[in-house]
Amino acid sequence: MNKFIKIIIAFLLIVPFLVACSNTAGEEAKTELVISTASSLKEAMEDIQHTYEEEHPHIKLRFNFGASGSLQQQISQGAPVDLFFSAAEDKLDLLVKEGLMDKNDFTDLLGNELVLIVQNGRKTTLNSFQDLNKQEVEKISIGMPETVPAGKYAKESLQNLGIWNDIDYKIVFAKDVRQVLSYVETGNVVAGIVYKTDVISSEKIKVIASVEEQMHTPIIYPLGIIKDTKHYEEAKDFYDYLRSEKGLKVFEDYGFTIN
């Protein structure tokens, strides 16, 4: 009888260990894909992540969100990345030139629009881009043009509108469009220029005006697979999913246009 009890106790002790090992084995079996992604795509990509991981339980998606220029520099310097989803075509062109991406695994997927924003409820006479000259508009935020595509497009637009030289001393540069949005939401600046998609879910922001397309370089979001990925088949499957009708529908719901 004592021997039987010892066997039962031993069994009860070993079961949790076996379950833990089973769980660990399941986790280890998952393939992790690292996707460097423009900050403006954050909500849409997290939405897609939830659906995709449910449909592909063997895949774990890990996003590295940031300014496209900074992400491109990280990849050029050897950061382990499987796919790159940029907010500017020239960032992927650089990777192709450096031999880090194949042109055949590269597509121009989405488009966007620039808007001028203020804090919702803020008392202002700002009604157009020309009004940025007004004395009441003390600070204006845009992304850093060298690394943030939205900032590059914003600067181009202000130059083509003929007001950049009059207001450049008011400019507060941000590390990405989400920081611009935060500056405006908190009232740290009077106005900012961001993508239309950035303000769709924010109740703290009011759109004053949209930038006409001809005022800047076309806004294109290219997607590409990094040549040195160790998980090409899995990366290609996710790449194709983002280009599918189901994936594109999510981007449309978040205000992006389809190229």
- Annotated ligand binding at 150? The verdict is yes
- Annotated ligand binding at 40? The verdict is yes
- Annotated ligand binding at 177? The verdict is yes
How far, in Å, CA of 78 to CA of 187, rounded? 38
- Annotated ligand binding at 239? The verdict is no
Residue 38: which residues within 8 A CB-CB, separation 6 or more?
65, 66, 67, 68, 71, 85, 86, 87, 149, 221
Taking alpha carbons only, the member of 124, 137, 71, 121 closest to residue 101 is 71
How far, in Å, CA of 233 to CA of 228, rounded? 12
- Annotated ligand binding at 195? The verdict is yes
36 - beta bridge partners? 64, 84
Which amino acid is located at 97 in the chain? K
Binding residues for molybdate: 40, 68, 150, 177, 195
Binding residues: 40, 68, 150, 177, 195
